[in-house]
């Protein structure tokens, strides 16, 4: 249903962000509104803490940000919202591998079925509104064929070229876990609607995004989760050996990439890009913990659990295509970004809510 307390949408058609009260969505909404765009946030507010993100947006941009409080599976509400907007960023999703294993049908309905409903609504409406889809590095599977070797506290590819550049978009897709299947299939539907129906759409296959207003949990948002636990003096669960490597990207850089994709949609339509921090921001879980210990001056307690299904021992994005096509600057160094996030968490007291 429409949120009556939100300001009315102006005659300038807004930009729709599904999942717009979530971590990346609210940061994108803030940037768009700051630059003078009207924004329509579509969110079910089903995740603890996101109400705080929406309040924050309304306080900062009372004349720019409006909202629809509805589930992404509500096809009529979603189609109506999309029909009012001049562009769509589609972030709304079920985001945890563990949840997808517990309830594959709900994962399918949220991640794949709702995405197809959105695409079909935009196709039927016509008008050529662009759509940018938030996909995931999980579309590449567990990368079990990549030969790895351990260097200190990190798993790295034996192949020197792969170690230097990371995993590129030409890597074969391989969907593991229901989450990987639902997001991967949605990823392909977006690209095919661009190909088959001329929809101006692009896909961003994200690695690990972190930053302010992130609600980190064991299942998703591990950088913020580790910081929150450490700041409270609570132990961190490590699934596997802790040497698994990811490339991390500050949310400000991620937002910049999404905005560049919208600006350049005529050039990048029908394409998928890996979006992450790249090799210069590739870290293992153990390396992040060491950085947190240096920031807090305290030892971080850890406990080890079994590896989780579909977990990649190594994933680092080859970001060269995105950097060239979107004219992206060098990403923020991870040590600086993590330090700023730690300070933000201290100041805002977001240890339980992180809203």
Instruction: Indicate if the alpha-carbon torsion angle 337, 131, 207, 116 is positive or negative.
Output: positive
Q: For residues 252 and 213, what is the distance between their CA atoms, to the nearest angstrom?
A: 12
Range of the domain at 299: 93-348
The verdict on residue 54 lying in a domain is no
Q: For residues 349 and 344, what is the distance between their CA atoms, to the nearest angstrom?
A: 8
Q: The pTM is what?
A: 0.93
Residue 110 pLDDT more than 50?
yes
The verdict on residue 206 lying in a domain is yes
Q: Which residues are catalytic?
A: 179
The verdict on residue 52 lying in a domain is no
What pLDDT is stored for residue 72 in this prediction? 97
Number of domains in the chain: 1
User: What's the half-sphere exposure (Cβ side, CA atoms, 13 Å) at 82?
Assistant: 29
CATH code of the domain in which 278 resides: 3.40.50.720
Instruction: Indicate if the alpha-carbon torsion angle 64, 68, 69, 71 is positive or negative.
Output: negative
The verdict on residue 20 lying in a domain is no
Question: Where residue 244 falls among pLDDT bands split at 50, 70, 90?
Answer: very high
Three-state DSSP at 173 gives: coil
Q: In the chain, how many H helices and how many E strands?
A: 14, 15
The verdict on residue 50 lying in a domain is no
The verdict on residue 70 lying in a domain is no
Average pLDDT over every residue of 11-25? 92
The verdict on residue 16 lying in a domain is no
Question: Where residue 49 falls among pLDDT bands split at 50, 70, 90?
Answer: confident
């Amino acid at each position: 249903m429409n949120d009556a307390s939100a300001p009315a949408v102006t005659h300038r058609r807004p930009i729709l962000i599904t999942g717009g009260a979530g971590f990346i969505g609210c940061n994108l909404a803030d940037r768009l509104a700051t630059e003078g765009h009207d924004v329509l946030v579509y969110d079910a507010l089903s995740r603890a803490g996101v109400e705080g993100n929406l309040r924050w947006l309304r306080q900062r941009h009372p004349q720019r940000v409006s909202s629809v409080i509805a589930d992404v599976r509500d096809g009529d509400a979603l189609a109506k919202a999309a029909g009012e907007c001049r562009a769509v960023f589609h972030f709304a999703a079920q985001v945890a591998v563990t949840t997808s294993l517990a309830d594959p049908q709900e994962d399918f309905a949220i991640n794949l079925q709702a995405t197809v409903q959105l695409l079909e609504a935009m196709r039927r409406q016509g008008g050529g509104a662009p759509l940018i889809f938030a996909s995931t590095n999980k579309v590449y599977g567990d990368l079990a064929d990549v030969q790895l070797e351990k260097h200190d506290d990190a798993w790295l590819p034996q192949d020197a070229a792969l170690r230097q550049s990371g995993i590129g978009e030409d890597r074969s897709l391989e969907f593991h876990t229901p989450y990987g299947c639902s997001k991967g299939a949605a990823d392909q539907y977006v690209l095919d609607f661009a190909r088959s129906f001329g929809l101006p759409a692009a896909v961003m296959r994200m690695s690990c995004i972190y930053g302010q207003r992130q609600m980190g949990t064991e299942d998703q948002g591990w950088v913020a989760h580790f910081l929150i636990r450490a700041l409270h003096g609570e132990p961190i669960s490590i699934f596997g050996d802790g040497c698994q490597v990811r490339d991390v990207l500050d949310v400000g850089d991620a937002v910049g990439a999404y905005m560049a994709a919208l600006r350049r949609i005529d050039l990048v339509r029908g394409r998928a890009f890996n979006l992450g921090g790249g090799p210069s921001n590739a870290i293992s879980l153990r390396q992040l913990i060491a950085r947190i210990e240096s920031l807090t001056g305290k030892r971080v307690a850890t406990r080890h659990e079994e590896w989780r299904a579909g977990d990649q021992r190594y994933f680092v994005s080859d970001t060269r295509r995105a950097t060239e096509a979107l004219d992206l600057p060098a990403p923020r160094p991870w040590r600086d970004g993590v330090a700023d996030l730690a300070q933000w968490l201290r100041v805002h007291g977001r240890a339980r809510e992180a809203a």
